[in-house]
Structure 1
Amino acid sequence: MIQRFVDNIIAVTKESVKTLTYESLNNIVRLINGISALLLTFLPGKANILEGIHGWELRPTFRGPRFPRWMENGVSSFNRFVHELSVDSDSDGSNLDYAYGDEDSDDGISPTSPSSQSSRASRASSFSKRDRRWSWWMWIRYIFFWILFPARFLLGIPVRILQLSYTRSSKASSAPGSNEASQTHPINKVQILKDYIVHRSTDRRRGVIEDLHLAIEIFIEAVFDVVHKAAHFVLSPSVAFKTLSGWCSLSSGGVQDSHSSDTEVTVPTATLGENDPAPKERNTSFQQSLNTDARTCQDVITELGYPYEAIHVITSDGYVLLLERLPRRDSRKAVYLQHGILDSSMGWVSNGVVGSPAFAAYDQGYDVFLGNFRGLISREHVNKNISSRQYWQYSINEHGTQDIPAMIEKIHQVKTAELKLSQPDVDEETNDGQPYKLCAICHSLGGAAILMYVITQRIEEKPHRLSRLVLLSPAGFHGDSTFMFTVVENVFLLLAPLLAPLVPAFYIPTRFFRMLLNKLARDFHNYPAVGGLVQTLMSYFVGGDSSNWVGVLGIPHYNMNDMPGVSFRVALHLAQIKRAGRFRMFDYGSGSANIEVYGSPEPFDLGEYYGLIDVPVDLVAGRKDKVIRPSMVRKHYKLMDESGVDVSYGEFEYAHLDFTFSHREELLAYAMSRLLLVEPTPKQQSSQKAVRLKKKTPANS
């Protein structure tokens, strides 16, 4: 009777603490969201800044708690969740398959085994197994494991001491006489713990607030679980006596049992790792254990039902680039899409089927190639031991003279070989031995790099293999910029000699801070006023540009595993271009260094060589673009027009990032219309004419 009364008191207290904590956290979030909305009311120009965000609302929305499936029969408690994990250790790890959220599914989770089904069937009897013998040091480590788990859960900091403690506890619990099902390898138990708490608890990406709420609930459950066991020991002297006797037996034979347990389970685990793919799946799942959106461009493309191919390209200076493709192997028209700064190929597919340039081009019959510049944190290079300083030693020069040439030459090799195979009668002498037409669509820094590529290839009398350029807000001229950019340029050029030896690149260095950025982006979407404030401050920093900066932070390539960075030299190169007021190559700082590279004491002024551009160029500017203003795009147009280039100019009501991240159909229609201006090869023209004549014959009428 007393024990039941104490259990009820503990249960009521626990639920009260959880409710109070949950409501307090929600009230804090509401307060932050409300203050953000209040600040937005007084900030000038917010209406224009947020105008470019489609579907953005400054209306706070708060979601109530999502009830997990394990809340059976109206049990609104985490007790069963934590108790089955920590106490009922004789249940097999494969039964941990609960999903978080009533509308979620178990996609991506392997089917359960028969043993897991039987363990779930015996779930009701698991509560009677609380009198397992644990030694005092096991209890201390167990308690500290759960007390410090929120820090590990939120921060992702490896706590090897806790893992080791849990491992030893697991070995001790698998001593002779214990349940056979509990003799799971200790390392597997730790991994099961991670998967169960972090990965299996939800299959959707969470923000920091959701992570904090889950960690607090787990912490409260762990504390009250310890209190509950302590009360049982106090109120049940017989159980305490059995436990004390168990301590003596464990202390006398613990070392020997631990050693024997170690030898028994190590060999089967090694065999399992060699022959069974399950460890790989478990490893993969843990990569997503913190629930960040780590999808790749391949994931997005294949999920939408489009074909995908990855081509690894090695530049002449040893950088390994990823050229991604939506293949149409028999097509004689191809398009190459090149991203801008702090972006990747993901930008061309991030809007899904409707609104993504890559999918629009593929649907129009193009063989689509997505280029990726060097500059990922993973530092792909033929030299696996390359240092960070060595890897980031490149400027825009290398993008235009190393990256793009390597990728376009690879495209040429692939297309030529495939067309020879599918169309043996292909005319290789057409267009300098090129039986296909290749157009390029480039954004921002990609536009500057492609212009550098064409000009340098022409100077070196090499074929550039391009038939048309569509440049979306291309970089190259930055004289007309905002006050903030001018200040940053002056400060950067002033401090460059001091920063160059210390800062090889600008990127987020650790997985924790990359994870934090990824999760904060989710919170910005969940709490619109907070997101609106961040959006406003970001746009102020770039001079009032109304791009959806918050939305871009949620793009999958900004994840905890990898993301683009900017080398110090690329930033310095942009500052040099702005200071000089000319589109020129990188200045190495001295006349002798420039003479060694360029043959002259001054870097090449690319604007003076626009006359070498021998393909049509379509320039597109955004009226709301404050990063690269329309006046700077018109400067490209003026120089090209004066040099005799076949150039066109167009403007849209776009901000800088809208060219890749918006869902506006008019840009896609315009870009596709410019690509269609490229005439097919003579072989295609003759074949198309033959088809038309065949259709007109009486036999086919």
Structure 2
Amino acid sequence: MMQRLVDTVLAVIKESVKTFTYESLNNIVRLINGISALLLTFLPGKATILEGIHGWELRPAFRGPRFPRWMENGVSSFNQFIHELSVDSDTDNSSLDALSGEEDSSGYESAGSSVSQSSRASRSSFTKHGQHQMNWIQYIMIWVFYPFKLFLGIPVCLFQLAYSRLLKTPSIPGSPCSFHLRSARRVRSLKDHVIHRATDRRRGVIEDLHLFIEICIEAIFDVVHKAAHLLLSPSEAFGTLKQLFSSHESSFKEDHDVVDVSVSAAVLGKNDPKPSERNTSFNQSLNTDARTCQDVITELGYPYEAIHVITKDGYILLLERIPRRDARKVVYLQHGILDSSMGWVSNGVVGSPAFAAYDQGYDVFLGNLRGLVSREHVNKNISSRQYWKYSINELGIEDIPAMIEKIHEVKTAELNLSKPDFDEETNDDQPYKLRAICHSLGGAGMIMHVITRRIEGKPHRLSRLICLSPAGFHYDSNLVFSVAERALLLLAPILSPIVPAFYIPTRFFRMLVNKLARDLHNLPAVGGLVQTLMSYVVGGDSSNWVGVLGLPHYNMNDMPGVSFRIALHLAQIKQARKFRLFDYGSASANIEAYGSPEPLDLGEYYGLIDIPVDLVAGQRDRVIRPSMVRRHYKLMKRAGVDVSYSEFEYAHLDFTFSHHEELLSYVMSRLLLLEPNSKHLTNHKSLKSRKKGQVSD
């Protein structure tokens, strides 16, 4: 009777403490959100900045009174958390590694997401050669964010201890905060797996704080409950302890002989599955979204193929594909800066260019340029400084040609098998038509590819080029970009050996960004304030910058970065007011690279472009203004290129990350226009006549 009364009192006190702490934290969050809303009302220009954002709701959703979150469905959220984890797949890895401050070379893969084949290979290869040396900026970041790292690490350890106690399983000797590998197997059905992967269940830092408080309260009251139970029923408590210690001793005796060999073998039985299939995942407890482009494509029911491409300088690129192997219509989509192939599929089936092209009968290829923090390279021991030593030159002269040649190799082999009687009168060696859609920096790289291949006398393989807000000219930009240009050019000799690239160096910091992006979505006013401030940095551009940060490819496993040389190259282009190749800083270095003391001015060679080009600008684009896209158009028109120009009332990121039916319809309509211009026909006929003349001779 007394024990029941004590249990009831402790339960009431525990739930009261939970309610008080939970509501106190909620009030603090509401206060922060309210202050942000107040600041947002006084910021100038926020109406025009936020007007074009789709899917970003600044007005709070009004709700009626409700129970605290931990009382929903009649169960504490901590207990619900335990239940959800108990059905998670065993194929995931421990989340303790996610809290380490190591580089991506640790070889860790996120749970709940099947990482692309290229990323898997690169991360596993980097496991052997250890950590890369971090520069002083990374050390500063580690010490500044150490309290956050400690804060996020404590609930995981507490949860592991609590969960081990719930399962009544001992810990592995020498491995703190870990599960016994003989715990019950938890296998999730395929249906549940797909539902989980297709739904963004990511939690933010605020929700993690809620869970941290609940875990602490549960742990404290569990100790108090055990103490009270020991005092009220000493005989039963001592019997339980004796039985527990005896089970520990028997378990240790059974595994004693195997422990001498290795720790991992000490917990494996003959009938146990492989370690990779049994490791319990705690990454679900962190709830980060690390889906890849492959995950998005396959979850929506489309076919998928991954192709690994190796450039001449040894970089390993991932060329992804939504295959139609018998299709003669091929489209190649190339992303821009700080982006990946995810941008072309991020709007789902209805609003994504990749899916729209596939539904229209195209064989779709999605290119990924170098510049991921996983650093895929044939040299497994490549240093950070060596990997990031590239400019826009390498994107347009190495990466894009390598991927296009791989597309040519794949399509030629497939179509020669299925349709050997292709029409040689329309294409010399291509049984297919290859169109390219590119955005931002991808557009500059694609134009560079066409011109340099024509100069070298090599085929560029393209039949049409659609450039969405292409880079290349940047002299008409805002004050922030002008200041950055001056700073980069002035400090380049000092910063170049110290800062090889701009990226988030460790997995913990990337996880923090991933979670903070979720908080910005959950708190409308705070998200609106951050969105407004970020738009000021890029000159008032109304793109949904906060929304893009929440996309899966900005995750704890991998994230796009920008090499210092690319930033310096853009600064050189802006200062020179010309679209030219990278300036190596001296006449001798440029002569060695280009054969002339000055870098090649690509604008002077626009006459070599022998395919139709469609240029698209955004009227609200403040990153690459419409005047800069019109500069491309004027030079091409003057050089006799078959070029068109269109403007839409969009911002910079709207071309890929927002669903605009008007833009999508325009792009698809331009893909269908494949009639070559007269200059291309003339060049083609003259080339054929030369070949016939040589044969007759």
Matched, 1:661 2:669: no
Aligned twin of 1:204: 201
Distance 2:668 2:371 in 1: 29
Alpha-carbon offset, residue 575 of structure 1:
0.8
Aligned twin of 1:18: 18
Aligned twin of 2:6: 6
Aligned twin of 1:638: 634
Aligned twin of 1:43: 43
Matched, 1:575 2:571: yes
Distance 2:429 2:17 in 1: 76
Distance 1:370 1:410 in 2: 12
Unpaired stretches in structure 1, ≥5 consecutive residues: 86-92, 98-107, 110-148, 176-183, 193-198, 682-701
TM-score, reference length from structure 2 = 0.79
The amino acid across from 1:258 in the alignment is F
Alpha-carbon offset, residue 174 of structure 1:
11
Aligned twin of 1:27: 27
Matched, 1:258 2:256: no
1:584 to 575, 580, 598: 580
Matched, 1:593 2:589: yes
Aligned twin of 1:222: 219
Alpha-carbon offset, residue 613 of structure 1:
0.8
Distance 2:233 2:22 in 1: 33
**Counterpart of 2:629 in 1: which secondary structure?**
helix
The amino acid across from 1:337 in the alignment is L
Contact 2:314–2:377 (8 Å) recurs in 1: yes
1:463 to 443, 459, 462: 459
Contact 1:524–1:531 (8 Å) recurs in 2: yes
Distance 1:57 1:495, change over 3 A: same
Distance 1:312 1:515, change over 3 A: same
Farther off after superposition, 347-356 or 398-407: 347-356
Matched, 1:677 2:673: yes
Unpaired stretches in structure 2, ≥5 consecutive residues: 90-111, 114-146, 187-194, 678-697
Query: After the TM superposition, which residues 31-430 of structure 1 pair with which residues of structure 2 at under 5 Å, given as runs?
Result: 31-61=31-61, 74=74, 78=78, 154-155=152-153, 186-187=180-181, 204-239=201-236, 258=252, 260-263=254-257, 269-270=267-268, 276=273, 279-283=275-279, 285-428=281-424, 430=426
Aligned twin of 2:692: none
**Per-residue deviation, residues 21-52 of structure 1 (Å, max 9, x unmatched):** 11011111111111111111000000000011
Alpha-carbon offset, residue 270 of structure 1:
3.9
Identity fraction in percent = 73
**Counterpart of 2:583 in 1: which secondary structure?**
coil
Aligned length: 600
The amino acid across from 1:46 in the alignment is K
Distance 1:561 1:78, change over 3 A: closer
**Per-residue deviation, residues 363-400 of structure 1 (Å, max 9, x unmatched):** 22111111110011111111112111111111100000
Matched, 1:541 2:548: no
Contact 2:164–2:171 (8 Å) recurs in 1: no
Distance 1:190 1:567 in 2: 47
Contact 2:467–2:613 (8 Å) recurs in 1: yes
Distance 2:532 2:234 in 1: 64
Distance 2:203 2:37 in 1: 23
Aligned twin of 1:431: 427
Distance 2:237 2:512 in 1: 45
Contact 1:174–1:261 (8 Å) recurs in 2: no
**Per-residue deviation, residues 588-616 of structure 1 (Å, max 9, x unmatched):** 11111111100111111111111111111
Alpha-carbon offset, residue 257 of structure 1:
6.6
Distance 1:272 1:556, change over 3 A: farther
2:604 to 603, 608, 633: 608
Alpha-carbon offset, residue 624 of structure 1:
0.4
Distance 2:148 2:608 in 1: 61
Contact 2:78–2:211 (8 Å) recurs in 1: no
Contact 1:185–1:269 (8 Å) recurs in 2: no
Contact 1:288–1:294 (8 Å) recurs in 2: no
Contact 1:156–1:512 (8 Å) recurs in 2: no
Contact 2:149–2:508 (8 Å) recurs in 1: no
1:621 to 617, 621, 624: 617
Alpha-carbon offset, residue 414 of structure 1:
0.8
Contact 1:33–1:60 (8 Å) recurs in 2: no
The amino acid across from 1:608 in the alignment is E
Distance 1:660 1:458 in 2: 29
Contact 2:329–2:362 (8 Å) recurs in 1: yes
Distance 1:14 1:463, change over 3 A: same
Distance 1:229 1:638, change over 3 A: same
**Counterpart of 1:648 in 2: which secondary structure?**
strand
**Counterpart of 1:186 in 2: which secondary structure?**
coil
Contact 1:437–1:680 (8 Å) recurs in 2: no
**Counterpart of 2:592 in 1: which secondary structure?**
helix
Aligned twin of 2:492: 496
Aligned twin of 1:133: none
Contact 2:256–2:266 (8 Å) recurs in 1: no
Bigger relative contact order, structure 1 or 2 (CA pairs below 8 A, ≥6 apart)? 2
The amino acid across from 1:26 in the alignment is N
RMSD: 3.6
The amino acid across from 2:628 in the alignment is M
Larger Rg: 1
Distance 1:363 1:80 in 2: 41
Alpha-carbon offset, residue 232 of structure 1:
2.1
The amino acid across from 1:386 in the alignment is I
Aligned twin of 1:532: 528
